[in-house]
């Protein structure tokens, strides 16, 4: 059936004028080409610019160096010139909480005083970093705490890749110059599953992930990067073409009626339209499967009938189904499904031939559910402010 014409995507964020920061430009987040142009603009001879970019790139993204004075293979004059025009600056860590299970959750401040969350999850064979792409979110998925926070703005490419760099700082995993740069990989995987819808900030997310994948820099394989979307259908093919990373879908329901409530963007691109886009996903293969994320909500989407419908819907798509026990937050309108229910659901999916790992809740003691830490911190600040007001301070 032909799809009804859709209204164009409009986003408040695109119309909010951004103040151009004054002062030295930040090299973090620039592509190689942008960095080259920036160097030439401050007087680097064109013939040298590409080589200079290579050198600076290595200092920043291989060795984690921030201070131009320490970039010892550059001439003193050139280092002084760099210091005059540029900075190498990351978002600021406002708070860090470490769970008893080793999960680290950071609240990070970006330009304008806005805050986003970053979560590092260590596992035996990998260390996964969950990063944010927007401050707040335009979408209002009803199970998601971030969905209760208004969209403020898109993150810049520098702010997206900056999250990866600051966690590498915290893990102390920048190698010493001259040492084997592959020796440590505490941060081995990136998931774009934090605050925001990454496909509504496509260009900045793409540019940041290109920096992450640069083989002479952070050098993360595209297969170690997973972008999670709620289903922005027109951008799905672009993700394969322009980023080439793995794809995860916030699926969460097996009927349009339920998905309309849980993931309201479904009203614009329904399950049928979404699955058609996924079937056409250019990189699909058995070794590059799409992950379907499915949050288990008691009595909402967790019945045996749902499990059977789910496997029927995704038939033919190389897929893995990630069952997520709901991480309840204060005031959440849902409850987590029981362990028995999750197991029964998982058994049906598994019997149909799909891997269906149940995600182990991580960092519950530090409010690792997306969006929770930011709200809690805001509440704490408010009450401190109220106390101060009452005390006449
Ligand atoms: S699940 Fe993702 S897209 Fe939906 S409201 Fe939360 S952050 Fe936004």
- Phi, psi for residue 147 in degrees, rounded to 5: -60, -15
Examine the pLDDT at 97 and tell me if it is beyond 50.
yes
Q: Is the pLDDT of residue 389 over 90?
A: no
pLDDT at 387: 36
Q: What is the mean pLDDT of the segment spanning 42-65?
A: 96
Which pLDDT does position 9 carry in this prediction? 39
Mutate to test the pocket of ligand 1, among 119, 144, 196, 327 (most ligand atoms within 8 A of CB): 144
Q: In the structure encoding, which two tokens stand for residue 305, read together?
A: 């009938």
**Catalytic residue chosen out of the listed positions 130, 141, 245, 370:** 370
Nearest to 196 by CA among 188, 187, 205: 205
Q: Is the pLDDT assigned to residue 48 strictly greater than 90? A: yes
Using the mean position of ligand 1's atoms as its centre, give its distance from the Cα of residue 391 in Å: 39
Closest to 119 measured CA to CA, from 148, 139, 98:
98
Strand duo 92-98 + 104-110: pairing: antiparallel
Question: Which atom of ligand 1 is closest in space to residue 229's alpha carbon?
Answer: 3
Q: Reading across the β-sheet that carries 92-98, which strands appear in turn?
A: 92-98, 104-110, 114-122, 127-130, 189-192, 225-229, 246-250, 290-296, 319-325
pLDDT band at 185; cut points 50, 70, 90: confident
- Spatial contact of 126 and 189, defined as CB atoms under 8 Å apart: yes
228-251 b/e with 16+ CB inside 10 Å = b? bbbbbbebbeebbebbbbbbbbbb
Catalytic residue among 115, 117, 197, 293: 117
Q: Take residue 63 and report the two structure tokens written for it.
A: 């060795």
Q: Model confidence over 124-179: pLDDT tens digits?
A: 889 999 999 999 888 888 888 877 788 889 999 999 999 999 999 999 999 876 66
Ligand 1 nearest atom to the CA of residue 228, by list position: 2
For residues 23 and 3, give the distance between their C-alpha atoms in angstroms, rounded to a whole number.
Answer: 49
Q: DSSP character for 286?
A: S
Chain region(s) in the chain for CATH 1.10.150.530: 23-87
**Average pLDDT estimate for 243-254:** 96
Q: Is 137 a catalytic residue?
A: no
Of the listed ranges 18-27, 211-220, 274-283, 322-331, the least confidently predicted one is 18-27
Token pair for residue 261? 């409530």
pLDDT at residue 168, as a whole number = 96
- Nearest CA to 327 out of 155, 150, 130 is that of 130
Query: Catalytic: 141?
Result: no
Of all residues in the chain, what percent carry a pLDDT higher than 90?
Answer: 72
What per-residue confidence (pLDDT) applies to 13? 40
Pocket of ligand 1, beta carbon within 6 A: 137, 139-141, 144, 146-147, 195-197, 230, 250
Q: What is the pLDDT of residues 303-312, one digit of tens each?
A: 999 999 999 9
Q: 319 pLDDT band (50/70/90 cuts)?
A: very high
Contact of 125 with 171, CB cutoff 8 Å: no
Nearest ligand 1 atom to alpha carbon 250: 1
Statement: residue 11 has pLDDT above 50:
no
User: Rounded to the nearest whole angstrom, what is the distance from the C-alpha of residue 141 to the centroid of ligand 1?
Assistant: 5
Expressed in angstroms and rounded, the spacing between residue 295 Cα and the centre of ligand 1 is 12
How much is the pLDDT for 374? 59
Residue 81 pLDDT > 90, yes or no?
yes
Q: What residue spans in the chain does CATH classification 3.20.20.70 cover?
A: 92-380
Q: In this predicted structure, what is the pLDDT of residue 187?
A: 95
Q: Would you say residue 19 has pLDDT above 50?
A: no
Helix 157-171, helix 202-213: angle, nearest 10 = 40
DSSP, residue by residue, 328-354: --TT-S--BPPHHHHHHHHHHHHHTT-
pLDDT at 119 over 90: yes
Pocket test for ligand 1, best of 132, 140, 197 (most atoms within 8 A of CB): 197
Evaluate if residue 10 carries a pLDDT over 50.
Answer: no
Instruction: Tell how far the Cα of 223 is from the centroid of ligand 1, in angstroms.
Output: 23
Ligand 1, atom 5, lies closest to the CA of 147
- What mean pLDDT value characterizes the chain? 87
Closest CA to 190 of 150, 116, 241, 132: 132
- Third-level CATH fold of 92-380: TIM Barrel (3.20.20)
- Name the residue among 188, 192, 249 with its Cα closest to residue 224: 188
Q: What is the CATH architecture assignment of 23-87? A: Orthogonal Bundle (1.10)
Whether 56 has a pLDDT exceeding 80, the answer reads yes
- Flag whether pLDDT at 263 surpasses 60: yes
| 261 CA → ligand 1 middle, Å | 13
Closest residue by Cα to atom 4, ligand 1, is: 141
Question: How buried is residue 367: exposed, middle or buried, by Cβ count under 10 Å (0-12/13-18/19+)?
Answer: buried
CA–centroid distance, 154 to ligand 1, in Å, is 14
């Amino acid at each position: 059936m032909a799809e009804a014409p859709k209204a164009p995507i409009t986003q408040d964020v695109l119309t909010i004028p951004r103040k151009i920061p004054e002062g030295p430009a930040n090299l973090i987040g620039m592509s190689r080409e942008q960095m080259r142009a920036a160097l030439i603009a401050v007087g680097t001879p064109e013939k040298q610019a590409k080589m200079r970019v290579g050198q600076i790139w290595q200092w920043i993204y291989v060795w984690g160096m921030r201070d131009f004075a320490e970039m010892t293979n550059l001439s003193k004059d050139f280092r002084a010139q760099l210091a005059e025009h540029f900075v190498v600056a990351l978002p600021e860590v406002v708070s860090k909480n470490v769970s008893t299970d080793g999960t680290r959750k950071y609240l990070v401040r970006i330009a304008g005083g806005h805050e986003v969350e970053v979560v590092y999850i260590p596992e035996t064979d990998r260390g996964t970093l969950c990063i944010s792409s927007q401050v707040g979110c335009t979408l209002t998925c009803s199970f998601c705490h971030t969905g209760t926070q208004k969209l403020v703005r898109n993150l810049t490419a520098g702010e997206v890749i900056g999250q990866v760099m600051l966690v590498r700082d915290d893990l102390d995993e920048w190698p010493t110059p001259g040492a084997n740069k592959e020796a440590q990989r505490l941060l081995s995987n990136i998931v774009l599953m934090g605050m925001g819808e990454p496909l509504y900030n496509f260009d900045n997310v793409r540019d940041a992930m290109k920096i992450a994948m640069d083989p002479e820099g952070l050098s993360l394989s595209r297969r170690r990067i997973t972008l999670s979307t709620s289903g922005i259908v027109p951008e799905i093919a672009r993700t394969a073409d322009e980023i080439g990373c793995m794809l995860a879908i916030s699926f969460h329901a097996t009927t349009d009626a339920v998905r309309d409530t849980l993931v309201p963007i479904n009203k614009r691109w329904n399950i049928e339209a979404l699955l058609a886009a996924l079937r056409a996903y250019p990189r699909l293969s058995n070794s590059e499967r799409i992950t379907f994320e499915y949050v288990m909500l008691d009595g909402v989407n967790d019945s045996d009938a749902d499990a059977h419908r789910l496997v029927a819907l995704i038939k033919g798509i190389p897929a893995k189904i990630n069952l997520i026990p709901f991480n309840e937050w204060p005031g959440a309108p849902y409850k987590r499904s029981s362990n028995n229910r999750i197991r029964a659901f998982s058994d049906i999916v598994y019997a149909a031939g799909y891997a269906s790992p149940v995600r182990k809740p991580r960092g519950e003691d530090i409010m690792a559910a997306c969006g929770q830490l930011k709200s809690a911190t805001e509440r704490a600040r408010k009450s401190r402010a109220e106390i101060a007001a009452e005390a006449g301070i």
